[in-house]
Structure 1
Amino acid sequence: MPSLRFPSLALIFSISGSIAAWAQAVPAPQAAPPANFAAEQAAANAADGPRRTPPRSFAVPTDEVSPEMRKLIALPFPPHMDAAPKNAAEWKELVDRRAKLAIAALPALKEKLKVDVQPAVIGGVKAFIVTPRTIPRANRDRLLVHVHGGGYVFGPGEAALPEAILLAGFGGYKVISVDYRMPPDAPYPAAMDDAMAVWKAATKMANPRNMAIFGTSTGGAMTLAMVLRAKAEKLPLPAAIAPGTPWSDIAKIGDSYATNEWVDNVLVTWDGWLGRAALLYANGRDLKDPQLSPIYGDFHGFPPTILTSGTRDLFLSNTVRTHRKLRRAGVIADLNVYEGQSHAQYGADMNAPETKEAFTDIAKFFDRHLGR
């Protein structure tokens, strides 16, 4: 069966290109370095301070990486990587253009994973209920809440659904996906207000001990921020969470913002559309506010957490910093890091073995901790 790629995740995770482009993107073998190469690099790094590296290229990894994932890893940078909308109308045009691609792929995805989707209004907020056509007995009283990624700007309406469909399909869970408001019309705190309104309403639909929150990238950051806010407001906490490659520090802070810049073929660099979206969402607010950058919040008392990233992910440091902070706070925290993957590529092709593995791992983690 042809590999299915889902433009909503391509939007959220910024994946684009074709198989032909992939073939052209595979780097040619490099010549052996000159005899004095090591000495030159040692001399360049002889003093304390920043690490200096020579120009580099990275072959597509083959060991422990499926053919489907190699194609994604090899793709060129997305065409909108340096998009710089000048006003609200230009932001909306970019968002709508990407959303149409995402929505067009949904029927095949829903049919392949055998799930149904219904629009809903929950807690006064637009949402979608994603229901597997067959729900295992153990999951019949369980309910997940999904907050989508997309840099706080991408993924309106149905365009945000693929990740919710993947976990519903692979895990057999009923999922509420929040269609939260976004910039340019609604900067912070609109998205968080909507997500919390849905969470409050959802806790009346199921026992919080049987509930989890999950999301990737922006959705991962919002998952963490929702727990911080629920703690502050003395609301019920979920039994587990899955913040995938969370944008837990919205500023350009963290080692992999530098080490994986121009290596990640999804986000590429903070200094493109990503950083512009961060500032648009923050709307003048301090980027270290824990509701924008939850890494600066107090993680004590958090529910068990599973995080996912890749070795080329621009947000790898966001993910590992979050994992270490959770562990230091005494929280049960698992970390899965995939070989060679850029930002959230574990969710970009449902036919890739890594995609089934990643979402099955999340589902099994939830199974271990929900209802306990």
Structure 2
Amino acid sequence: MPAPSVDARPSEQDPSVVLAVGRLVTSSGERAPAWVTIRDGLIADVGGGRPPRPVDEDIADAVVLPGFVDAHAHGALGHDFRSCDADGARAVAAHHLAAGTTDLMASIGTAPSAVLERQLALLAPLVRDGTLVGLHLEGPYLSPERRGAHDPSLLRLPDLGELRRLLDAAAGTLTMVTLAPELPGAAAAIRLLVERGVRVAIGHTACSAEAARAALADGASAFTHLFNGMPPISGRDPGPVAAALESETAHVEVIGDGLHLADETLRLVRRVAPGRVALVSDAMQATGLGDGEYDGRTVRNGVARAPGGSLAGSTSTLGTSAMRLHAATDTALPELVQLTSAAAARFLGLQRDLVPGTPANLVVLEPGAPGHALRVARVMRQGRWAVG
């Protein structure tokens, strides 16, 4: 692809920038060829065919999608949102941005209460300045039986006093909490969180389908990485997976790195729950680095495991997982947009679909080596090229 002719930022003479696009794909369909007008960091207009005026940049050989929205990531480059400082958190966001994630929610794993309060307070300014799209507590109110890589000595029952302190520390930036609804006190915790505007996800749970449905009735609205950290579905004991799939409204996270779920399983979930399924990375601190030991977790051949052998998050970005899924399963690009941005954006209350008035967040895809899959070549965030 030729170097960009402009930095895609408005000039004094003309406040808008027009891009000519080979193929523009959104959740509602696609146009080829197409054009996009950007003004003040927002999409001003889009259309098919010939642009309305001479273009500022021609990327007619590429595919353009909305920027990816990753609502579940723990870190990268050796940094973990549970322990990093603000500079480390910015480095994590920049790494994921380079792979196409223009909206990243920071997931903080189970930790002592004082640590959670500290990290929420530390990361809250990064939500307010737009570096992060929100904060997610994955724990500490999780099932010991389905804890995965979470430290069992730090798991505890829901406590409303602790929750209020955590909410105060986050100062309005706490977006989601994952908990196990079968724990004593979980129902009251769900109601408190929902009253305070926080989304509640069912996860790391050994609950029955009935308990999951009761949690949804109490206000829970999502399932954290479906199938992982919960019992498998069976004929006589369907469990939380069945509750997630039979719901008509619950948001469903899935990890698409090819390790946490078989592609056949992911295909079934997408078929049963169209429009409600979002890919997440669940990226841990080794993402972007090589094999090794990371805070007691071992990464071998790119697979992270806790001491007991359970998977301990992913070492893939959402962009890497999305391109893998597209190549491995021939997932149509409009559905890939649903999985990588549209579903998560709806769940988080964001406007992210490359329509007028939305942020100019987009990903440019190009073919890799001859005969290879598409790859993320360039990334624009709020009207400026962040990568490429």
Question: What TM-score comes out, normalization by structure 2 length?
Answer: 0.30
Question: What TM-score comes out, normalization by structure 1 length?
Answer: 0.31
Higher strand proportion: 2
